[in-house]
Amino acid sequence: MHEPSISHLATEDPQIAGLIEAEAKRQFEKIRMIASENYVSTAVLEATGTVLTNKYSEGYAGKRYYEGQQFIDQIETIAIERAKSLFGVDHANVQTYSGSPANLAVYLAFLNPGDTVLGMGLPAGGHLTHGWPVSATGKWFNAVHYGVEKETGLVDLNKVRELALEHRPKLIICGGTAIPRTIDFPAYAAIAKEVGAVLLADIAHIAGLIAGGAHPSPVGYADVISTTTHKTLRGPRGAMLMCNAEHAKAIDKAVFPGLQGGPHNHTTAGIAVALREAATPEFKVYAHQVVANAQALAAALVERGFDLVSGGTDNHLILADLTPKGIAGKPAAQALDAAGIELNYNTVPFDPRKPFDPSGIRLGTAGLTTRGLTPEQMPQVAAWMDEAIGAALKEDTAELDRIAGEVSDLLKAYPMPGYASE
């Protein structure tokens, strides 16, 4: 059952309570490998489900527009100081609602409509808010995109430099949503400096790895750093912006009053708790274990004939092109879900298929590492994935059910924060 208890909700609205309990059970019984998901601690769950949600707090600590901020100011200040200490930055804004508004705030802080931005293209592993045409960032700004090399799946930074010199962007973005390799922040910084651009490092996926010392940090290279607070950082669904002192005023002004009203104080409290957890020695062990699991899983998948973009991974994320397996990403993801393995279908670089029916799948090891799985279990996970895809091709639902039962049996030995097995 869900932990903390939702007994009051069960009495007041049993329909919603029942669905929450069902979701908690689902999360417990499946290997959750959506790369942008994780499990938060019970302490984070408790912080986000408090009376803090009752309070409006437009403005910043000491400069609010409503009264009654004596305790809210302390909570937000603690979250800011913990972010600054953990990442080694001059300034942190913990009010942004999620990753997309955080990135949009950077545009508002430094650009005017029509200005040029250089970011990684979505099909290559970038993000919608890096100037992709369907996003407001692609509609309001002149977006130029770089990608990866077809042969290697890696970014050619010489080509990024050539694009920067040709288009003279005011903003360069590094980072994305499907990048399995280490991001070379110093190289991007050198390019940005050469053309006089602001460098934004979007570390939403790797923030926890950076905090735990399992990935190089952009601090000292990027002018602004954006991140969500969930994913590998293992906090609630929120976001942060971090920067040097020079840009602090512009960033804060862009967030409020530029884009948002009152911050979500219950989320701020959850972020503060997660940041405290991320500063512990145990979290450093966790961050390195995430990478070890990903690399072990990648190796096991390669042994089973999976075609991995860039050939493997340096972080938590694996991107696989299923074309050699004779199946598209969407039916594979649906079959894997039926088999108790949760991930998402995903475009791969140079994908000939449409985005809603792409060739690939994306998976990550942050969640299963939180549950306590180790490299020892990764060959079995790879075997289940291979068997499930084979079953999908044969439309063998009984085989999928068998795998799901084995997955559930394995996970019974690995506790899940937020769920107490009966």
Q: What is the mean predicted confidence (pLDDT) over 70-91?
A: 98
Across the range 234-250, mean pLDDT stands at 98
Going by C-alpha positions, the residue among 315, 23, 355 that lies closest to residue 176 is: 315
Query: In angstroms, rounded to a whole number, what is the distance separating the alpha carbons of residues 120 and 263?
Result: 30
Q: Give the model's pLDDT for residue 400.
A: 98
Confidence of residue 126 (pLDDT cuts 50, 70, 90): very high
Mean pLDDT of 179-204: 98
Per-residue pLDDT reduced to its tens digit, 204-214: 999 999 999 99
Residue 362's pLDDT is 98
pTM metric for this prediction = 0.97
Backbone angles phi, psi at 215, to 5 degrees: -150, 145
Among 377, 373, 400, 378, which residue's Cα sits nearest to residue 388? 400
Angle of helix 397-411 relative to helix 329-338, nearest 10 degrees, comes to 60
Q: What pLDDT sits at residue 277?
A: 98
pLDDT tens across 281-308, in order? 999 999 999 999 999 999 999 999 999 9
What gap in Å lies between CA 377 and CA 383, rounded to an integer?
10
Per-residue model confidence (pLDDT) at position 407:
98
Nearest Cα to Cα of residue 40 among 365, 268, 371: 371
Residue 258 main-chain phi, psi, to 5 deg: -60, -45
Going by the annotation, the residues of the binding site for (6S)-5,6,7,8-tetrahydrofolate are 122, 126-128, 246
Task: Over range 360-382, report the average pLDDT.
Answer: 98
Residue 202 has pLDDT above 90, yes or no: yes
Q: Evaluate if residue 249 carries a pLDDT over 90.
A: yes
Bridge partners (DSSP) of residue 419 are: 2, 416
The C-alpha atoms of residue 13 and residue 22 are separated, in whole angstroms, by 14
* Average confidence (pLDDT) over 245-272: 98
The 10s digit of each residue's pLDDT in 319-369 is 999 999 999 999 999 999 999 999 999 999 999 999 999 999 999 999 999
Q: Is the pLDDT of residue 422 over 80?
A: no
Q: Write the pLDDT tens digit of every residue in 94-120.
A: 999 999 999 999 999 999 999 999 999
Which residue numbers belong to the known binding site? 122, 126-128, 246
pLDDT at 421 over 90: no
Q: Provide the percentage of residues in the chain whose pLDDT is more than 70.
A: 100
Specify which residues 198 forms β-bridges with.
Answer: 171
The residues pairing with 200 across neighbouring beta strands, listed in sequence order, are 173, 224
> What was the pLDDT predicted at 315?
98
Residue 2: CB partners within 8 Å, gap ≥ 6?
20, 21, 24, 418, 419, 420
- Residues 273 and 47: beta-carbon distance below 8 Å: yes
Look-up: residue for tokens 């280490």? 182
Task: Name the strand (E) or helix (H) holding 323.
Answer: none
Q: Which residues are catalytic?
A: 56, 58, 202, 228, 231, 237
Q: What is the pLDDT of residue 233?
A: 98
Q: What is the DSSP string of 150-207?
A: TTTSS--HHHHHHHHHHH--SEEEE--SS--S---HHHHHHHHHHHT-EEEEE-TTTH
Task: Output the pLDDT for position 360.
Answer: 98
Q: What is the mean pLDDT of residues 149-163?
A: 98
* Strand bridging mode 317-321 / 360-364: antiparallel
Q: Is the pLDDT of residue 134 over 80?
A: yes
| Mean of all residue pLDDT scores within the chain | 97
